[in-house]
Every structure is written in structure tokens, then in C-alpha cells.
Chains A and B, each alone.
Chain A
Amino acid sequence: MAEKVLIVDDDKAFLAILAERMQNRGMEVSTAESAAAALQLLENESFDAVLLDLMMPEMGGIEALQIMRRKQPEVQVIFLTGHPSVSKGVEAMKLGAMDFIPKPVDMNELTEKIKQAKASRMILVEKRTQEKIKKILTDKSW
């Protein structure tokens, strides 16, 4: 099954070409030009990986990550940034980002990370489902 990916970046040119390249690799890609638009999409959809720009107008990537994690705890966020710094990277990872990749991006590396993200997400979703079933089984008196 194709990986479902959301790319969030205020740079329209980057967004369009990265989406096209990922679609050429068989991925199902959605795009958002702002963190607010991405959060809107996440209201109704889930993705195997969210590729998130660190610095965006109005709401930056770190703030967006925190909100995304509250909405969908199993969301796998990979930061893409032209402004890599150790402190931002550490902050992002502490807040639950899956990875932190500097721009320009190596497509093979990114594709690999997206596959890892999908696998990690599936494990988390499965674990949550098992926990829900366990809770139902223990809560109900059969």
C-alpha cells in the first residue's frame, strides 16, 4: 500500500516539486502551505508521515508539532529545514519528532525515513487498538 504523506512548507516551489517527486515514487501526497492548513487537514485525515518545515510564517514547525501530537499521538513528524541547529533538532526530538533532516534533501534518505515512519505508526496504531480492546474486555462484565 502506498505511503500517505503530508508535506507542510511555506515555499510553494519546494512544496510542488517535492510532492511531484514523491508521487513519482508511488506515494500518496497532500500538501499544505501553512501549519494552520496542515492542522485543518489532520482534523479529518491521518498520514503515515508529516514532513514539516521548521520555520514558517505565523506558526512555526515546533508549535505545529505540539498541536499535531495532541490531535494524533501516533503522528510521525519529520522536520525538513534549511536552518538546522543542534538546539532546534534536540527540541524537536524531545517533543516527539521522528527525525530532523536538513535541506537540500536526499530523496533516497527521505524515502527510507518515510517507510520507517509508516512502520512506526502502524506499530503505535496496533498497540492503541490492542489497548482499547483490552480495556473493553476488562470493563465489560461478560
Chain B
Amino acid sequence: MTTDAGIIGQAGLQFFGKMSASISHDIKNVLAVINENAGLLEDLCGMAERGKPMDPLRLKRLAGDVKDQIRRGDRIVTVMNRFAHSADEACMDVDLTEMLDLLAALALRFAAARGVQLQVNRPEGSVKVATSPFLLLNLMWLCLDGAMAAAGQGRTVELSAVYAADGVLLRLRRIEGLKDAAEGLLPTDARTALCRALQAQVSIDGDRSEMTVQLPGKRA
């Protein structure tokens, strides 16, 4: 019999692997553009050596393009760093809107592949809860992956966090195809084990096109 710990471990590794592969793809793309910029610089030098004057404005643009890619790479690595550190503590105070921002950033490539937009809605103040950030991210990824599959191309899925009467609610809304989505939208074993570990409850409301994850906790 597989234990919850075993299921969570496996689901966590799969999640970490999937995100790491996606991030490495993004970094490779940045490196590819920088590589082409360096290559173009070599081409221009070669042409200058053969007597074609070098255009300073073209060089300035080239430098600007490299800087743009460095900024893009820095954003990717910042997301990767935040994701890696989410596994540091078994339990800590988590700002849920910040966590949803991280989730949306991690899911961006997967959303784009499905033609889905992600929008994180911000509450007026911060919504915090003491929980395991990595396990919660994993559970939210499973929900979001299912939500994106159900929503379909051209849709926008909204993510938000709010305080509820006896805890917090993480909401995925405007999942248009949720009502018609097939059973098994979320992997049952991983969802059940993660919910038990987090004391969370996942609800799927097809009529309201909404998925919610409820977590216990006091208002900070």
C-alpha cells in the first residue's frame, strides 16, 4: 500500500521536475537570443573588416537587445529561486497572493501552450496563512492544471485569495468548461494526500465555473 508520504513525495518530485524543465527551456531561449546577438556582432565585425562601415546605432540597438534578454533571464531566475526556496520550511506564514503570483509565473508556459491567460486578482490587504508553501503550491498547480485544461483556448482563468470565516479560500474562477469537464480532472491520489497533509479541501463547482481550495487558519 502506498502511504500519503510516498504519494506526496512522488507528486512533489513530478511537480519540481516539470517546473524545472519548463524553466530550463525558458533560460535556453534567453541564451539562444544572446547567442544570436553575439553572433550578429561577429558578423558585423567581419563585414567591417571587409570594408562595410559599422553603424553605431545598430550596435546600440544590439546592446539594448542583450540587456533586454538579461532582464528577461533575471525574471526567470528570480521565479526559479522563489520556487526552490518554497521547499525550505515545512510550515511558515505564506502571503497567498504572492504565492499565486509565483504559481502564475511558473504556469505561464503551460498556459500559453493551451492558449489560456492567467490573471491574479489582488485583495486590498495581504491574505496570509501558516502552511507548507511547497505542498500548497503543488496542490494549487494540480488545480490550475485541471482548470486550464477545462477552460480551453482563448479563456482567462482568474486566481485570487480571500479570508473566509474559518480560514482562507484560494479561488480559480471563470473556468468556462468546468461543468462539462470529464471526471478525473485532478489526479485523485495526489490531491487527496496533499489535502490531508494541508488540512485543505478542494471544491469544484461547475455551475459557478469555479474551483476553490479551503485552508484552515486564523486571520493574521
A residues less than 8 Å from B47 (CB atoms): 24
Nearest chain A CB to B110's CB is how many angstroms away?
Answer: 10
A residues less than 8 Å from B26 (CB atoms): 82
Tell me the complex Cα distance, A128–B9, Å: 56
Contact, CB under 8 Å: B36 / A14: yes
A residues less than 8 Å from B112 (CB atoms): 10, 57
Of the stretches A102-110, A117-125, A134-142, the one at the interface is A102-110
Complex interface bits, B27-48 against A, C-beta within 8 A gives 1, otherwise 0: 1110111111101100100010
Greatest chain B CB density within 10 A among A18, A56, A104 is at: A104
Does B69 belong to the interface (CB within 8 Å)? yes
Nearest chain B CB to A34's CB is how many angstroms away?
Answer: 10
Contact, CB under 8 Å: A57 / B113: yes
Contact, CB under 8 Å: B69 / A13: yes
- Interface size on B, as a range, is 20 to 34
Tell me the complex Cα distance, A78–B75, Å: 30
Does A39 belong to the interface (CB within 8 Å)? no
Contact, CB under 8 Å: B35 / A105: yes
For the residues of A in contact with B, the DSSP-based class is loop
Contact, CB under 8 Å: B40 / A11: no
Contact, CB under 8 Å: B65 / A104: no
Contact, CB under 8 Å: A82 / B32: yes
Does A132 belong to the interface (CB within 8 Å)? no
Tell me the complex Cα distance, A82–B34, Å: 13
B residues less than 8 Å from A13 (CB atoms): 33, 65, 68-69
Does B115 belong to the interface (CB within 8 Å)? yes
Contact, CB under 8 Å: B31 / A104: yes
Tell me the complex Cα distance, A42–B202, Å: 47
Residue of A nearest to B154 (CB): A58
Does A60 belong to the interface (CB within 8 Å)? yes
- The 8 Å CB contact of B36, one of A55, A58, A105, is A105
Chosen A-B contacts, 9 in total, with CB atoms closer than 8 Å, are A17-B33, A21-B40, A24-B43, A24-B47, A58-B115, A82-B28, A103-B29, A104-B31, A105-B36
Which B residues have a C-beta under 8 Å from some C-beta of A? 21, 24-29, 31-37, 39-40, 43, 47, 65, 68-69, 109, 112-115, 153
Q: A103-B28, A103-B31 are known; give 10 further A-B pairs, CB within 8 A.
A: A14-B33, A17-B37, A18-B36, A20-B40, A56-B113, A58-B113, A82-B27, A83-B24, A83-B28, A104-B28
